[in-house]
Amino acid sequence: MKQSVSKQTQSLPDWELLDQKKSSWLYKVVRWFVWLFSPKYKIVGAENLPDEPCVIVGNHSHMYGPIAGEFYVPGKHYIWCAGQMMEKREVAAYAYQDFWSGKPKALRWFYKLLSHLVTPLALLIFRNAHTIAVYHDTRLITTFRDSIERLKEGNSIVIFPECYEEHNNIVHAFQEKFVDLARFYNKKTGIALCFVPLYLAPELKTLLYGEPITFRPDAPIGQERDRLCHALMDAITEIALAQPPHTVVPYPNVSKKHYPKSKTSEDTSA
């Protein structure tokens, strides 16, 4: 693989090689600035991460999750990211819908404009970072194939699978199809993947890892999707509730005044 990539690079025209170098250099500068101005997290429970590659599943917390995943997940790893953020024609529409569609109507024109302005930056970051493009159409098989190759190379996979369906005050419901990665990986390698729950608390500036949950290859895949998703959501919730009361950064991009609390007044008085 390395030889073929090297030959391909050597065969590129000089202007394309120069463009690649500029992109790589600019990405490193942007990455440094993101690290500089993003929260600095304390890691708790890293001993729960197995020595072998695993799948780390966490709460999204807007962009806090992917950014923390890039800088604070120990060891080699790749992060699942929306494939639309790597496609020039799809970035603006996806960014507006996912990040800013819930903004007040009077300001939406601004955020539609902003979604186009951030396109070059999004392409620079998502195409250069250790990411795996995630799709929800026929291209999903590409997501699984790339993920299996990264796992076989010794990398863990970081996934933030929340959707807009509410589950509780800590996490939104999980999209279940990510569990199929364990089924395909088991068929290729005979190895049963572990899924490690991760709770990100931006207000507490803490990342907390829970105990791993192992995929059961002999169980029906529908049953495993349901079991693992609920076990992971429950584990993340339990981790969050064990922390001091704090504000939870939810998956939907809502106003901060609507952010939920980890514990209600009834919880804290019990």
**Predicted structure pTM score:** 0.85
| Residue 6 confidence (pLDDT) | 38
d(CA 207, CA 173): 20
Strand segments (E) across the chain: 42-44, 55-58, 77-82, 131-134, 156-159, 162-166, 172-174, 194-201, 206-209, 213-214
Per-residue model confidence (pLDDT) at position 168: 96
- How confident is the model at residue 146, as a pLDDT? 96
270 residues of the chain, pLDDT tens digit each: 333 333 334 443 443 333 444 467 888 888 888 889 888 999 999 999 999 999 999 999 988 898 899 899 999 999 999 878 888 888 888 777 777 777 778 888 888 898 888 888 888 888 888 999 998 888 889 999 999 999 999 999 999 999 999 999 999 999 999 999 999 999 999 999 999 999 999 999 999 999 999 999 999 999 999 999 999 999 999 999 999 999 999 998 888 888 999 986 455 444
Give the residue extent of every domain in the chain.
39-83+131-269
3-class state of residue 81 by DSSP: strand
Cβ atoms 128, 27 nearer than 8 A: yes
Please report the pLDDT score of residue 152 as a whole number: 97
